[in-house]
Amino acid sequence: MSSEDSKTPGQQRVTLRTIAELTGLSLSTVSLSLRGGTTLKQETRDRVASAAASLGYVPDRAGVRLRTGKTNVIALVLDGAEDSIDFARHMIQGIGQAIAETRYHLTVIPQFDHGSGTDTVRYILDNRTADGVIITHTRPDDPRVQLMIDAGFPFVTHGRTHFATPHPFHDFHAEAFIAMAVQRLASKGCKHVMLVVGDDSTTNHHNIVTAFAQATARAGMRAQVMDGTQGLAPAEMRRVALELAGNADRPDAILSDSETRTIALASGLQEGGLRLGQDMELIYKQTSGILPTLFPRLDSIAEDVFAAGGELTRLLLRRIDGADPAELQTLAEPQPQWRS
């Protein structure tokens, strides 16, 4: 029995020969087509794919790996941070759509350890459980990146690092996000702006804080950073905002990099008697459609996480095919959503 066999409940096992007989093509042509052979005509590839789908054909991954050394799997090592509402869902959906017409399958590995996180990547490398890896929430000197660079293993990061050796990445253009938000607040006459930002271990944090200092200096604004909010529960963040509302020296604007923190902030500020958009401006980074429903007058700047998942997949598949890492580095431009 072929290692490429598959079977659906109540049916005989589907083989490459079954597909060949249905399509009238040779076994070698069917096999090449199912492996993504680009030398075949698109009409032939579509014909084989249609037959395989109608028969319920599923390749035996163990057999594929024995013959080719490939798993036809990409792994998403997904950080468990809860800063962005629906981040994981949109990211997975974007990747899923991008691989829908390929031979690849997706394995999602939650990363709840906010330390080095090297154990997960080392397991993938040692056991070759995937052909490539996507990692999120990168640090400037991320040890996961170093491991994969040293191993020459295909990967892409959602976020930048400070490594001298180039590697594939796709990142939200945080510097443009900050510049856009500060300019918007300046146009509204704001003079004192507070940045509320989370995990100070990530490259994104460094990029945001640096850009904030530069943008507010250019605008002649007083700048303040509320740092280290990553570990604060929403109730604690709300209490901080309530205390801030009663502070005589409070800022006249807040810039938040997280929807989760924004909800807690807005709740505390409003309980403290402030009218958002009047007594205090607030601009937040948007990754879902939830906050515009709760606070329809607040300005936001959006990141399309679904599109990011698709772009990360595109870059990774090109890297697996041997593309130069230096040519696989892209930024997603922020999308302003001015409402007030």
Give domain status of residue 5, yes or no. no
For residue 197, what are its two tokens? 């930002």
pLDDT at 230: 66
Give domain status of residue 9, yes or no. no
What's the pTM? Answer: 0.79
Q: What is the pLDDT along the chain (340 residues), one digit of tens a residue?
A: 344 445 444 456 788 888 888 899 888 888 888 776 667 888 888 898 888 888 877 666 555 554 556 789 999 998 866 667 889 999 999 999 999 989 899 999 988 665 557 999 999 999 899 999 999 989 999 999 999 999 999 999 999 999 999 999 999 999 999 999 999 999 999 999 999 998 778 899 899 999 999 999 999 999 999 876 767 888 999 999 999 999 999 999 999 998 989 999 999 999 999 999 999 999 999 999 999 999 999 999 999 999 999 999 999 999 999 999 999 999 999 999 999 7
Q: Judge if 165 and 198 occupy the same domain.
A: no
Give domain status of residue 4, yes or no. no
Give domain status of residue 52, yes or no. yes
Domain count, the chain: 3
Give domain status of residue 129, yes or no. yes
Task: Select from 38, 60, 82 the last residue of a domain.
Answer: 60
Strand order in the sheet with 155-158: 105-111, 73-79, 132-136, 155-158, 169-172, 329-332
Q: Please tell me the distance from the alpha carbon of residue 314 to that of residue 327, in angstroms, as a whole number.
A: 12
Give domain status of residue 100, yes or no. yes
Contact 162, 203 (CB under 8 A): yes
Helix then strand then coil, % of the chain, to nearest 5: 45, 20, 40
User: The domain containing residue 122 runs over which residues?
Assistant: 73-171+305-331
Write the DSSP string, 80-110. Answer: ---SSTTHHHHHHHHHHHHHTTSS-EEEEEE
Q: Judge if 230 and 165 occupy the same domain.
A: no
Give domain status of residue 259, yes or no. yes
Q: Judge if 241 and 267 occupy the same domain.
A: yes
Q: Please tell me the distance from the alpha carbon of residue 201 to that of residue 117, in angstroms, as a whole number.
A: 13
